[in-house]
């Protein structure tokens, strides 16, 4: 009898120890995201029966695809210990320019809608690359603080977008643009989700299977050691910002197709939402840590929370409070997680 008591006495602490170890490994790998994601799904499902319906989840998947794309771009800047505050204004400028180019080409030849679409997309991607190069050169070569540099670009790009559009929506794009890139659903999956999936696969391959990806992580982990190892730190930092803005350009093009006009005020909340999604997904503000798969879940979580609050008719200004709280919570958890990682390495 006494042996049985001893076995049971040992079993419970052992079980708790193993569960604690599993929870610790999950936390170190994914941060707070798995916990808050489960809480959000269960909570909204109980509060609003429409939350887990097929139509609502379909809409969440389509809406989250835009933020997924932008958040993957933002992830690149955080990996190199930077940040891009100009994401929203970059999307707005691209939206205006894409609409302008498409409308101009279509006006010249109304029988060539696909030529207009191709020209508009090419212009948007080129603008994204130029914006990223300016950000990267300012930060890596001129040594401007990433926050200051990108906030300055935010103001510049917003001003340019408003100047080009006159503060008014721009029309005249081919109807095929929206039909294909926003509302088509091959195999029942929305077109933006397909594009977001493609961006995810490309970035997963680059970050995990190429020398460039390994150097990006190394650069964020220790820039001095990276330089001593022969890595061109300035070039890689510039490339990180160029890739970020090109990816953001994809998001801007998709959003333009969705709204059907060129908007100088497009994606005004994407800066806050993308940073929240990336940090809550476990990408560290201190650089060199983060997984692109977690970023996809982080963007989905932010969209899910916004959708749930909309269903519950939470006012938009109160939604901003929730996103702000989530961002602060994510940063606090990130600091705790970094300290735990350092302790594990020391052991």
DSSP assignments along 245-295, one per residue = HHHHHHHHHHHHHHHSSB-TTTTTTHHHHHHHHHHHTT--TTSS---HHHH
pLDDT of residue 196: 95
Task: Identify the pLDDT of residue 144.
Answer: 95
What are the residues whose beta carbons fall under 8 Å from the beta carbon of 197, sequence distance 6 or more? none
Query: Rounded to whole angstroms, how far apart are CA atoms 230 and 1?
Result: 67
Q: What is the pLDDT of residue 131?
A: 97
Total Cβ atoms within 10 A of residue 119: 17
191: part of which helix (H) or strand (E)?
A: helix 191-209
- Low-confidence stretches of the chain (pLDDT < 50) are 1
Instruction: Round to the nearest angstrom and report the end-to-end CA distance of the chain.
Output: 39
Q: Which residues contact 78 (CB under 8 A, 6 or more apart)?
A: 220, 278, 279, 283, 284, 285, 287, 290
Q: Which of 117, 119, 150 is nearest to 135 (CA)?
A: 150
Q: What pLDDT is attached to residue 214?
A: 92
Among 278, 276, 290, residue whose Cα is nearest residue 324: 276
Exposed, middle or buried, 189 (CB in 10 Å: 0-12/13-18/19+)?
middle
The encoded tokens of residue 226 equal 């990276």
What's the pLDDT score for residue 286?
A: 80
User: 191-209 and 211-221 are packed helices; what angle lies between their axes, rounded to 10 degrees?
Assistant: 80
How many angstroms separate the Cα of 323 from the Cα of each of 271, 306, 318, 330? 11, 9, 9, 10
Tokens found for residue 273? 């939402």
Residue 199's pLDDT is: 96
- Coil/strand/helix, residue 80: coil
Asked if 213 contacts 192 with a C-beta cutoff of 8 angstroms, the reply is no
Q: Which residues does 20 contact at the CB level (< 8 Å), separation at least 6?
A: none
Q: Alpha-carbon distance 185 to 180, whole Å?
A: 8
Structure tokens at 85: 């505050």
Q: Which residue has the tokens 């998709």?
A: 254
Q: How far apart are CA 150 and CA 245, in angstroms?
A: 11
Among 237, 286, 207, residue whose Cα is nearest residue 135:
237
Task: Give the model's pLDDT for residue 228.
Answer: 84
**Residue entry with tokens 């040594």:** 143
82: left (phi over 0), alpha (psi -120 to 50) or beta: beta
> Which run of H or E residues covers position 297?
helix 292-311
Separation between Cα atoms, residue 108 and residue 269, nearest integer Å: 35
């Amino acid at each position: 009898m006494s042996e049985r008591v001893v076995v049971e006495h040992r079993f419970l602490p052992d079980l708790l120890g193993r569960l604690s170890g599993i929870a610790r490994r999950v936390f170190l790998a994914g941060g707070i995201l798995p916990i808050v994601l489960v809480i959000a799904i269960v909570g909204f499902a109980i509060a609003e029966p429409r939350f887990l319906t097929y139509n609502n989840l379909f809409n969440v998947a389509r809406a989250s695809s835009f933020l997924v794309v932008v958040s993957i771009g933002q992830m690149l800047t955080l990996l190199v210990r930077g940040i891009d505050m100009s994401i929203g204004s970059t999307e707005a400028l691209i939206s205006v320019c894409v609409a302008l180019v498409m409308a101009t080409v279509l006006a010249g030849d109304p029988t060539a809608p696909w030529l207009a679409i191709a020209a508009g997309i090419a212009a948007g991607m080129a603008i994204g690359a130029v914006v990223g190069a300016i950000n990267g050169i300012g930060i890596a070569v001129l040594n401007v603080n990433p926050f200051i540099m990108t906030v300055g670009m935010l103001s510049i790009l917003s001003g340019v977008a408003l100047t080009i559009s006159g503060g008014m929506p721009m029309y005249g794009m081919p109807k095929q643009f929206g039909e294909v890139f926003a509302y088509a659903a091959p195999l029942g999956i929305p077109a933006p989700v397909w594009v977001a999936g493609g961006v995810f696969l490309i970035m997963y391959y680059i970050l995990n299977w190429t020398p460039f990806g390994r150097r990006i992580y190394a650069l964020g982990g220790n820039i001095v050691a990276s330089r001593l190892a022969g890595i061109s730190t300035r070039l890689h930092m510039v490339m990180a910002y160029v890739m970020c803005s090109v990816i953001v350009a994809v998001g801007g093009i998709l959003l333009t197709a969705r709204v059907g006009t060129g908007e100088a005020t497009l994606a005004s909340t994407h800066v806050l939402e993308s940073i929240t999604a990336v940090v809550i997904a476990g990408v560290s503000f201190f650089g060199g840590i983060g997984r692109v798969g977690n970023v996809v879940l982080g963007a989905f979580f932010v969209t899910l929370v916004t959708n749930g609050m909309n269903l519950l008719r939470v006012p938009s200004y109160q939604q901003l409070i929730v996103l702000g709280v989530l961002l602060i919570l994510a940063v606090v958890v990130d600091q705790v997680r970094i300290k735990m990682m350092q302790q594990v390495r020391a052991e």
